Structure 1
């Protein structure tokens, strides 16, 4: 491999034997070398190629300032997330998570620990991602001699929630989605003066519906709306309280997100709420 651009003594963009530009990293891998020189393969500890050109360019810029051990921590955590979540992750997570870890460690060493007001909501609504975040915090604390908390685990979880989306328009919405889920859940709790069994199947179905509902709200999208007027009128009489509660959610969404819930959305909300509170 030949050096195309030396980033620092430990990293470079190099062209491999297939003519593809890859990021190579290793202690002293470019020391004393210049563009066009051959890379000493024995010094290369890691290579990275991201198909997303924008992500690759941003990650390359990041490598200039981020210590090698933090880059390795980020990759370890991403690999863990791939196994734990079983989902394809958008490559931008390499940039976002690495940058986040770098800044979190820097803040912690400066005595600055940020609180996350939605920590426990992220933990409830995205249990698997939060578990990855907790493991990430454990790895970071052990390797960087800092004391990050579950607040940071929730921030890291949000990076993976965002990375689960292939659509750029859907990324970076996890925090707002969590706020909408929490608000809708609280509306139902307040209306029926109750708490929920968070281990129940109906609760799981309700929260899952709210996740996709919140995404549609933020993207300004609706179901392919059909004429559900007759069915909605039936539900209005049969499930009067769940229907009335759904209308409160409709009002909240309208006032806070300038989004009008259609009859189909209202119908599905009513059905899920009626299941959730059927034993009250």
Structure 2
């Protein structure tokens, strides 16, 4: 098996005898190796084939920022999800879930718990995916010794649902697309910048907006009325510019859809806006 690209010492993009590209993992597999070298099959611990073009490059970019341990963990969760769910999962899930696990476990180690304001809807509308999310928590605990809260099962469910979008043919997609487009334009004009659509941060923001828009377009979705708390005030102060932008989005949602965003929803929007714009600024 020939190396096409070295991601790090443990992960490479390779090509087999049938000229099929695949991501290959193994401890020290690519140590002191370069493009064109051959891999010892005995050192291969995990192989997975990616059908969608461009995903390997996104994995390479992601592994510059995070440990390949999370890619292996994401692969175990995705392998289980593929057996539990009937719908096909998009290859980008490897990137999205790896990134999320890295972020979630890092937050947990810092003692920072992010409540999931959408957990009620997630349990109700995506029961099978949520079961996989709960199983994912057990996999994470077994592999890392870290027990993440149930809120994280909901976040993982969001990624599973989003991964099935290409084949779902969902009825409100036109309305959802319009809402997302308007929100992205609000962010662009507020910051006077074009967002880099090739980054993982942008993809993460888009994932949140898709689920956010889907929830708002549902007639039976629950409306939250939480009061502002200490965390809300912290985010409002620390990320003032992003918070102002989320306020513009809240006004657009209220005027267009007659829906008032909760404090939690404003927090999530602010954090995502801060992350996607801060890296470019």
2:196: which partner in 1? none
Q: CA RMSD in A?
A: 2.7
Unpaired stretches in structure 1, ≥5 consecutive residues: 188-251, 259-280
Which residue matches 2:161?
161
Secondary structure at 2:165's aligned position in 1?
Answer: coil
- Contact preservation (8 Å) 2:10, 2:28: yes
Query: 1: distance between equivalents of 2:42 and 2:126?
Result: 42
1:54 aligns with 2:54: yes
Shift, 1:65, TM fit: 4.3
Q: Deviations over 1:61-118 (max 9, x none)?
A: 3244443432222112112212222111111111111111111111111211211111
Q: Do residues 175 (structure 1) and 176 (structure 2) align? A: no
Distance in 2, Cα, partners of 1:112 & 1:163: 27
Per-residue CA distance 1:219-263 (angstroms, 9 max, x = gap): xxxxxxxxxxxxxxxxxxxxxxxxxxxxxxxxx9983289xxxxx
Number of aligned residue pairs: 193
Distance change (3 Å), C-alpha of 1:82 and 1:31? same
Rounded Cα–Cα distance in structure 1 between residues aligned with 2:162 and 2:66 = 22
Q: Larger Cα Rg: Structure 1 or Structure 2? A: 1
> What does 1:14-29 align with in structure 2 at a 5 Å threshold?
14-29=14-29
Matched-pair contact (CA < 8 Å) for 1:24–1:47: yes
CA distance in 2, matches of 1:20, 1:118: 40
In structure 2, the residue corresponding to 1:23 is in which secondary structure?
A: strand
TM-score in terms of structure 1 length: 0.61
CA displacement at 1:39 relative to structure 2: 0.9
Q: Which runs of 5+ in 2 are unaligned?
A: 178-205, 224-252, 260-281
Q: Which residue of 2 aligns with 1:224?
A: none
Relative distance call for 1:145 and 1:53 in structure 2 (3 A) is same
